[in-house]
Amino acid sequence: MSPRIVFWFTFIATLAFSAFVCVLFLAASPARAEFRFEANTGVAKHDKRKDGLWYQSEYPNEHHLADAAYQLGASWFTTGGPTRYGIRAAYVHLGRISSNSLAIVNEYDRGHNMPCVAATLNGDCFARYQQVTENRGWSFGPVIEHDAGPVVLSAEIGPFFGKQTVIAHVEHITASEQGAVDVTNQWTFTNWFAGAGIRYEYLTLNTRWYQNLAAGGGWMGPRHAYTVLAGLSIPF
């Protein structure tokens, strides 16, 4: 089955499941509703990917895994009572991260017949791999709020329909193979997120966890991501 068919099947299935959960939440709630516009900004922190083809932890490497992030969206909440149910849809930009690492070009050769010396980087097998990865997409799912004195606590979960762009520069630095290759790739993917937040009047502070974002394979991008965002939630 082609990756495109898998993506669209996953997209439709997760969207249908989320819509079903939202309908169940709202069906058990009062008929009155409140709409809100939400804008948040803060930071996204990505996990370092596991060892693979272009990142091998025993060789020199550096990573920049945190960047500015933002989230723009709208929500629909029931009103009445200390506990309220709702739906939130948002566009999320998880920033850009980068890495710069030396790695053995052929993963099979890491332990087989190649004179690679980690201490001096002597040998005929290394390349420098530099990449910039950008993740963004749409989130959709049910939200629950509960009054806790002067503040409101919330929790949410749902699918994240993401798009990943990877700009890579691979430079061979061995004696037998010189030159560089520049590659730009894009992938779409569907995974899950979960979050929690606190609101005081119009002011919000929330955090989210995003499941595996390595759309192009574990060697191309990060794995999980976490955000801490602050902003406004304004009724309209």
Query: Mean pLDDT of all residues in the chain?
Result: 80
**Alpha carbon distances (Å) from 203 to 4, 226, 232:** 40, 20, 5
Q: Tell me if residue 168 falls in helix, strand or coil.
A: strand
User: Mind giving me the DSSP string for 55-86?
Assistant: --TTS-EEEE-EEEEEEEEEEEEE-SSSEEEE
The answer on pLDDT for 218 being more than 60 is no
Q: How far apart are CA 163 and CA 229, in angstroms?
A: 20
How many whole angstroms separate alpha carbon 8 and alpha carbon 4? 6
pLDDT tens, position by position, 128-160: 888 898 999 999 999 999 999 999 999 999 999
Per DSSP, helices labelled H in the chain are 3-27
Q: 8-17 pLDDT, tens per residue?
A: 666 666 666 6
Mean pLDDT for 162-185 is 75
Percentage of residues of the chain with pLDDT beyond 90: 39
For residues 112 and 132, give the distance between their C-alpha atoms in angstroms, rounded to a whole number.
30
